[in-house]
Amino acid sequence: MRKALIATALLSAVASAEPTIIPLPKEMKTGEGSFKFGDETGIRFDKDLEPVAKLFADDLKARSQHEVKLVREELRIMLPSEIRLDLDDSLPLKSGGYKLEVTPKGVLVTGKDVAGAWYGTRSIIQMMPASGAEVWATTKGVPIPAVSITDEPRFGWRGMHLDVGRHYFPVDDIKGFIDWLAFHKMNTFHWHLTEDQGWRIEIKKYPKLTEIGGFRDSSPPYGNRYADDGQRYGGFYTQEQIKDVVAYAAARQITIVPEIDMPGHMAAAIAAYPELGNSDISGYAPKVQTRWGVHPYTLAPTEETFRFVDDVLTELCELFPSQYIHIGGDEAPKDQWESSPRVKELMKKEKMKDGHDVQSYFIKRVETMLEKKGRKLVGWDEIREGGLSPNATVMSWRGEAGGIASAKEGHDVVMASNSHLYFDHYQAPAADETAKGKQFEAIGGFLPISKVYSYDPVPKALTAEEARHVLGVQAQLWTEYMKDWDKVEYMAFPRISALAEIAWTPVERKNYDDFRARLDGVLKHYDAAKVKRAEPFDPPKPQTKDGSTVETSLESYQEHWAELAYDGKPDTFFWADRSLKAGDHLTLTLRAAVSGKARVITGGKASRNGDKLGEGVLEASSDGSKWAEVASFKEGIAEGPLPPATTSLRIRVTKPQENWLIIHEIEVE
């Protein structure tokens, strides 16, 4: 069952004088004392804020069991104690900005717009004790700390994705999730509605999509991802349910961006309507898939298929008012296209050289459909393959490269990097997690909350003008290893708090230690609502063997920290978590100047690819600014004499490589 956002739970301390708010506001000054929300407190609101006022009153009641009186501003009814909600579009703030003034005498929220007023009320809710009802029972009031806040969001797209294709979750769970997005001032819910393993949205014109495509015959059990449990599984949302959820989200200032993934990840749809696929190839036998991963069934680029796509998008646009429609575009294998006589004929006619061109042709056709419906296309970064359609927005998930290239070409982008924003990755060491039980299995990776928080959605490679194309940031919840809602909550919370802060707070205000201290207050809200959250895991700070320091442009894979490249232990190593770019580096600043020689060994048996450095140099410096080459890497090893008084060593990549990088040990003699 969905857990109400404002549930009561264990007694918590009365709110302290230092407000706890995540995401951290742009400007905040604490005052003296607090405002007592008591039985005489009412809400006075601008006439355009009535829906906000009603939802806010419901939240306050849940925290106090007190029925809050609502008064329109123009009625001029006196209230002994009031929280006032106003609008002022002249505020020098972005859309969603607000000012909040709390004194012992009253509370004033002034929104730049309706969204801003809503976000102001979210700050108030966070500042109240998580177990306000129990505080009320003993004090007949709930304190709200005195504070002065001027706040606005950094980005206009503050998103969270949820995959319901691999596993279906009831409407109550979806609504509860939307409540928590609102709590964190998120404004975009990316609803991934279709997959190879299940089609989850009713389409009136094509009932078999849910009758057949909505169910599969088996699923992999926890602990053995290559086995079958033999249990029929499925479910879908009716159009009436969709409308209900869309309205629920809109009332909380959240836009739902639906995703119908195409032309790949379409096995469930093709199982329902086999004529939509590449039915002219040998061995064609579509079915709703029962295993995770990428499957070969893609939509055929035929006129019949495009009529189907247009019909589906027509119904989708009637349900979702979002200006953006996500069409996926990721992980579309090209083999079936390149084997299909029909597609080969099309390629010849349209002068297409390979499957990448077919992908581009398909996406451009879909973009034209959406433009005729007054909508914008957004897709995963594979939509760049074969050439990007003219007005497409790119969601960059395979690192930042797709986002950087698209922004430089003038396309809007949403940064959704799998290195920092894939919440299906382990948030604590895999061995620690799986020791709790098979149900704690994840797809892999290692993404502690500190790594989420470290992400900056604006890549350094972009100029200020190019950075204007970064609409915002989004995290992903792929649910192959989330069979029930408890597991979704475990993977999402508390990492969603870090996501909220990188999406909202000015980059110069970010500080992980401060965030971590404030997180404790938000955890109380989670616990009061009985959210099945994880404990935030802070990795131990690794050390080099002698206190020397390491700095790198690369993130570490799992617990293979950069410092392990210089810890004097042959069994430990640094392992980068992505492909290499020219200019990537690892720099070691030595504790004391040295002479002699250095040797660096890269690669190792831990990787099936070896992960040696193909082309790069080992450099030395005596001042950290001027560098001299010591040796180039050959077969993954570089060694040579050091200049006198060397204080720093740098391993620098000179040519991009697909493989990741292992640095086993830096040896200095």
Using CA atoms, how far residue 555 sits from 99, 344, 435, 447, in Å, is 38, 42, 26, 11
Burial (CB count within 10 angstroms: exposed 0-12, middle 13-18, buried 19+), residue 669: exposed
Nearest CA-CA partner of 505 in 152, 11, 148, 52: 152
For residue 648, which of 630, 626, 621 has the smallest C-alpha distance?
621
Which residue in 308, 443, 436 sits closest to 362, CA to CA?
308
Six-digit token string for 234 = 């499925």
Phi-psi region of 111 (alpha: psi -120 to 50; beta: other; left: phi over 0): beta
With b for 16 or more beta-carbon neighbours within 10 A and e for fewer, the 200-237 pattern comes to bbbbeebeebbebbbbbebbbbbeeeeeeeeeebbebb
Helix (H, G, I), strand (E, B) or coil at 474: strand
CB 525 within 8 A of CB 496: no
Alpha carbon distance 34, 15 (integer Å): 9
| Count of beta carbons in the 10 Å neighbourhood of residue 32 | 9
Contacts of 466 (CB under 8 A, 6+ apart): 407, 408
Q: Which of 633, 611, 630, 624 is nearest to 669 (CA)?
A: 630
Query: In the annotation, is 331 catalytic?
Result: yes
* C-alpha pair distances (Å), 104 with each of 27, 31, 36, 82, 515: 20, 9, 7, 11, 27
Q: How do strand 69-72 and strand 188-192 relate by DSSP bridges?
A: unpaired
**Spatial distance between the Cα atoms of 254 and 320, rounded to a whole number of angstroms:** 12
**Opening angle at CA 222, ends 220 and 227, nearest 5:** 35
Residue 651, φ and ψ in degrees, nearest 5: -100, 115
| Residue 631 identity (one-letter amino acid) | A
Q: Which two tokens stand for residue 392?
A: 């497409």
User: Would you give the end-to-end CA distance of the chain in angstroms?
Assistant: 63
Closest CA to 428 of 442, 439, 409, 410: 442
CA distance 266 to 161: 19
Which of 73, 211, 331, 338 is labelled catalytic? Answer: 331
Task: Decide the pairing of beta strands 646-653 and 616-621.
Answer: antiparallel
SS3 sequence of 195-243: ECCEECECCCCCCHHHHCCCEECCCCCCCCCCCCCCCCEECCECHHHHH
CA distance 34 to 176: 30
β-strands 662-668, 597-602 pairing? antiparallel
Q: Which residues are catalytic?
A: 331
